[in-house]
Structure 1
Amino acid sequence: MPITGSTFFNKALNLFFYLLPLILLLGPPSSWAKTTYEARNKDYLTVCGDPNHMPFSNKAMEGFENRIAQLIADDLNRTLRYRWWPQTVGFVRNTLSVRLCDLVMGVTSVNELLQNTNPYYRSVYTLVYRENAGLQIQSLDDPTLKELKIGVVAGTPPATLLSKYGLMDQVRPYQRTVDTRLYSPATRAIEDVAEGNLDIAVIWGPIAGYASTQQKTPLSIIPLPAKVDSVPMAFNVSMGIRRRESNWKHQLNMELEKLTPSIQKILLEYKIPLLDRNDRLIKP
């Protein structure tokens, strides 16, 4: 019996409704070619990190990110392993995106290249000067700054304020994007303060807090307000995973909540200025 147009249409329509649940499950056609499986290795927690970027991480596992990663791995009953890559341009593209690892430890919570976990700490930019310098500076609009040599990493939020306050003639800029295997600009600025090459530096809190403890000259670390003239000085820091890995994100968020006291203890050991949810300084 020949198939009429109406018979063919009815069979096609029936086939469509039969396959509809599968189509909805797969999502839109644009997503069919995308990888959707998640990190589910039961034996390893594989982290991508910088091999020479203290106080965050290094190959000797001396950074606070190394210690927090180990904390999570132990709680998950997995072996921690690292894949090393300098944290500069192309870091996410060459590590997490190509599945070299399943986790990046320290990223700002507004990073658009990956999916963020809940924040595991919040810190703030700081003023750094020698304790014996006789300075009492608490803010970037202090008139005293017009007579001082100021160090700042180019392109960071404090640089915006220093420009706004007409202090750029006093500024020695430090390059922001570098090969961390060879150079750490923010740490170098702290060293220049300690050595007397600068009067004051405005540096991200985790680096300032730790690097100041490595100097022979005692340094004062003054956390800035969380926001100054509408410019944010405080930022949340999260962990980064691949997009669409919602189960892995949920698991990590539970770990971060569970391990909060231990994580905070590690951060404070590195002299990192920490802020609570109301932007009040957390004291040891």
Structure 2
Amino acid sequence: MRAFLAAALVLAGFAPAAVRAQTAELVPPDELRVCADPANLPFSNERGEGFENRIALLLGEALGLPVRTVFFPQVQGFVRNTLGLRRCDLVMGTVASDELMQNTNPYYHTTYVAVFRKDAAPPEDFSDPSLRKLRFGVVARTPPVDLLLRNGLLDRTRSYALAVDTRVESPASQMLRDVAAGELDVALVWGPIAGYQIHVQRLPLAMRALPSAPGAARMDYRITMGVRANEPQWRRRINAAIRDKQTEIGAVLREYGVPVLDASGRIAPGTP
């Protein structure tokens, strides 16, 4: 998962109470200002090549507004330095129930996945003792670490950094390349990253959704957008734009290989 999502509840420096004290909604009426990372594909980049860049344009169409993107690396302080300072008015790709922002309605539901080479058998049951022969990869401090810990597989696991400057490195993408190169057998990674590397970058890999189990770390999440807590009218406008463009949003997600879960929690047809 993106560092911004995984660490959403521990980001420092954002003061919701101070923001709520400002009661007036100060969203500019003449443009849609979106907060985004400048180098974080498949989500966003400065060239507008990410699926969140594309979805922002759809929202702009629905709102009848031009889109202006304010870029800032999604590291500690992202919310404070963008939404909190009113440099922009909408954060894409936040987790439902994120306490740093007011959430819109979800616009897709996705999951962590297990990624493996196409010529290998997919891991079925992580409690299977035979899995101790495999080499795993995981991004530190993400939910799949709990899965590996509960099944005694951490000593078979290579850890990749979570909080990085995405302008210079992408540990999750490197982990998937390591699977393709045979240095790892299985990577446990955020589904949108895996889908992009498989479907768009054409890595010879396959993926399978990791199920959420009772009493364990959750693997699937409903993805929303974030606005400031004191702007309910703006939130309602964004929700209406999401409803208006939901079909087109789904088409963009499929184009990028994002594993979208259906109502039963399974990866919906159409995901590569």
Match of 2:99 in 1: 112
Residue 90 of structure 1, aligned match among 55, 74, 77: 77
| Higher gyration radius (CA) | 1
Task: Give the structure 1 partner of residue 179 of structure 2.
Answer: 193
Report the secondary structure of 1:188's partner residue: helix
Alpha-carbon distance, 1:260 to partner: 1.1
Q: Identity rate of aligned residues, in percent?
A: 43
Separation (CA, whole Å) in 2 of partners of 1:85 and 1:31: 22
What's the CA shift for 1:223?
1.2
Contact kept in structure 1, 2:19 and 2:228, CA below 8 Å: no
Work out whether residues 127 and 221 of structure 1, in 8 Å CA contact, stay in contact via their aligned partners in 2.
Answer: yes
Distance 1:39 1:191, change over 3 A: farther
Residues 46 and 208 (structure 1), Cα distance of their counterparts in 2 relative to 1, 3 Å cut: same
Which of 153-162 and 139-148 deviates more?
139-148
1:276 to 259, 262, 266: 262
What is the rounded CA distance, in whole Å, between the counterparts of 1:105 and 1:269 in structure 2? 18
Aligned mate of 2:23, from 29, 36, 39: 36
1:43 is matched by which residue type in structure 2? D
Root mean square deviation, CA, Å: 1.9
Structure 1 residue runs without a partner (length 5+): 1-29
The residue correspondences of 1:1-284 to structure 2 (distance < 5 A) are 34-132=21-119, 134-215=120-201, 217-227=203-213, 230-284=216-270
Q: How far is 1:283 from its partner?
A: 1.1
Question: How many aligned residue pairs are there?
Answer: 254
Secondary structure at the aligned position of 2:42 is classed as coil
Q: 1:280 to 1:175 in 2, by over 3 A?
A: same
Contact 2:106 2:223 in 1 (8 A): yes
Sort the Cα spacing of 1:271 and 1:228 in 2 relative to 1 into closer, same or farther, 3 A.
farther
TM-score normalised according to structure 1 size: 0.84
- Is contact 1:205–1:273 with CA below 8 Å preserved after alignment? yes
**1:139 offset after TM fit, Å?**
3.9
**Larger RCO, structures 1/2 (Cα 8 Å, 6+ apart):** 2
| CA displacement 1:92-123 (0-9 Å, x = unmatched) | 01110000100001111121111110111110
C-alpha distance in 2 between matches for 1:32 and 1:44: 21
What SS class does the counterpart of residue 177 from structure 2 fall into?
helix
Q: Give me the TM-score of the superposition, normalised by structure 2.
A: 0.88
| Distance 1:137-1:118 versus aligned 2 partners, 3 A rule | same
Give unmatched runs, 5+ long, in structure 2.
1-16
Q: CA deviation at 1:216?
A: 5.5
- The structural deviation recorded for 1:269 is 1.1
Q: Deviations over 1:144-177 (max 9, x none)?
A: 3201110001111110110111111100001111
